[in-house]
Amino acid sequence: MKNDLLFEFVVSKEDQTIVIKREFDADLALVWEAWTTPSILEQWVAPKPWRAETISMDFREGGFWHYAMVGPNNEKHFSRYDYQLIEPLKQIKELRAFSDEKGNVSAQFPRTNCINLFVENNGKTIVTVTAQYGSPEVLEYMVTHGFKEGVGASFENLDQLLQEKKR
């Protein structure tokens, strides 16, 4: 699905950050729901042919989302997002980490601080994701292993889902 919606992806090695700004052709409430409801989140967050599978989600400050990215051969890679701050329809601050199947955070990789900001403008919603990586090595890994392409594909999944929900 080709569209003319805003998609910026900016890497700062100095700050060890990736800032993604993406526009969605849907109102803020619908985008927020897609970002915060496990059954909807699972439908878009993984680039095809991968899929997301929620192990547990407690969407509140102090809660976390534990999920698996499941590959086409049923291989699983687990992650955990701990919610630090939630301002409904405005922002979500989370601490992201790779984990095991039980949700134990991997000591091999420093955690990522992430802020997701949501702003509606004329019926469209702009989401700005700022991810600050815990080491230059993890940032480099993300940049060189298809993160931009993967997140772009995931957002295209979300575009399609939002259009279906608007009908």
Q: What is the pLDDT of residues 16-37, one digit of tens each?
A: 999 999 999 999 999 999 999 9
d(CA 127, CA 124): 10
Indicate whether 1 pLDDT > 60.
no
Residue-level pLDDT at 97:
94
Residues 72, 83: contact at Cβ < 8 Å? no
d(CA 144, CA 35): 26
Nearest to 158 by CA among 71, 4, 30, 72: 30
Instruction: Round the average pLDDT of the chain to a whole number and report it.
Output: 95
Fold of the domain spanning 7-166: Alpha-D-Glucose-1,6-Bisphosphate; Chain A, domain 4 (3.30.530)
Domain ranges of the chain: 7-166
Residue-level pLDDT at 2:
56
Calculated CA dihedral for residues 25, 147, 76, 92, nearest 10 degrees: -50
The pTM for the full model equals: 0.94
Q: What percent of the chain has pLDDT over 90?
A: 93
- By CB atoms closer than 10 A (0-12, 13-18, 19+), residue 123 is exposed
